[in-house]
């Protein structure tokens, strides 16, 4: 985990979350100079991943949205949420369609080559199956010859693909992987009984188990726990500014309150 920088001064402005979708308003800066904080800070977000980010009544909601607002407030700015598909979310940032990404993005070496990450949560993965676990799924290997739904461009998709390479070498039937641009579409397939398992971050899996009562997780612990990060363009001073803001939110207790509100306290960084 990257060492956090000294804190910035706390600004007194109140955040206003702009309606999801971005609008056509051009971003300005809060103060002059090369290191000025954008106002608003435009975040690219894949709003199909409750409880982190989803659309509720046409507006973005979730703990990532609350964190985005809190970071902006800490920096004396406001937050604007721009719904962006996960498969194109990094290119959108690099093309300057937003200032940052906050979208349950696991930090990986490949992604870190493209963007700068500020760690803010620590989240693992779960397999989700129907109650009773009729297919006796215990882990990725037990999906041999069975089907699993997953969102495209995720670390979970990469894990399933890696498992298939192992199964192929062992001469065993492969996993039928059904990947979808939106996580809500992946979930819909298991709800409709079209796949045996759904593979995602622990946060949405636990959310669906809690809210539907139709599913269970297949293991008692998270798989491959990894830090998630807010992404900025490499060399953008906003990265260091957000880094300072995240540390401040942990120190002043606001991060704890946000995560508790969304029943996601277990995903807080452990060393904060």
Tell me how far apart the alpha carbons of residues 212 and 191 are, in angstroms, rounded to a whole number.
10
For the segment 112-146, what is each residue's pLDDT rounded down to a tens digit? 999 999 999 999 999 999 999 999 999 999 999 99
For residue 51, say if its preceding peptide bond is cis, omega within 30 degrees of 0: yes
With DSSP H G I counted as helix, E B as strand and the rest as coil, what are the percentages for the chain, rounded to 5?
Answer: 35, 25, 40
Q: pTM of this prediction?
A: 0.85
For the segment 201-219, what is each residue's pLDDT rounded down to a tens digit? 999 999 999 999 999 999 8
- Listed range (13-27, 120-134, 215-229) with the worst mean pLDDT: 13-27
Q: What is the set of domains in the chain, with CATH numbers?
A: 28-122+228-267 (3.40.190.10), 124-224 (3.40.190.10)
Tokens of 111: 């992604």
CB 136 within 8 A of CB 243: no
Tokens of 271: 């060393």
């Amino acid at each position: 985990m990257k060492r956090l920088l000294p804190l910035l001064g706390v600004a007194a402005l109140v955040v206003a979350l702009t309606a999801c979708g971005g609008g056509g308003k051009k971003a300005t800066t809060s103060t002059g100079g090369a290191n000025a904080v954008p106002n608003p800070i435009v975040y690219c977000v894949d709003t199909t991943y409750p409880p982190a980010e989803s659309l509720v009544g046409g507006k973005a909601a979730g703990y990532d949205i609350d964190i985005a607002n809190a970071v902006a407030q800490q920096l004396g700015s406001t937050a604007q949420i721009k719904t962006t598909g996960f498969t194109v979310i990094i290119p959108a940032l690099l093309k300057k369609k937003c200032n940052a990404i906050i979208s349950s993005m696991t930090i990986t070496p490949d992604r870190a080559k493209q963007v700068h990450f500020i760690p803010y949560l620590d989240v693992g993965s779960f397999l989700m199956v129907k109650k009773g676990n009729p297919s006796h799924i215990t882990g990725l290997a037990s999906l041999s010859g069975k089907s699993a739904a997953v969102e495209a461009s995720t670390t979970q998709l990469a894990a399933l693909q890696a498992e298939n390479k192992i199964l192929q070498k062992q001469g065993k039937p492969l996993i039928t992987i059904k990947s979808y641009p939106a996580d809500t579409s992946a979930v819909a397939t298991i709800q409709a009984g079209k796949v045996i398992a759904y593979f995602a971050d622990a946060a949405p899996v636990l959310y669906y188990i809690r809210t539907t009562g139709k599913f269970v997780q297949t293991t008692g612990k998270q798989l491959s726990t990894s830090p998630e990060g807010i992404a900025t363009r490499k060399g953008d001073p906003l990265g260091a500014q957000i880094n300072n803001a995240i540390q401040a939110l942990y120190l002043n207790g606001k991060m704890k309150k946000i995560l508790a509100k969304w029943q996601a306290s277990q995903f807080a960084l452990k060393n904060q």
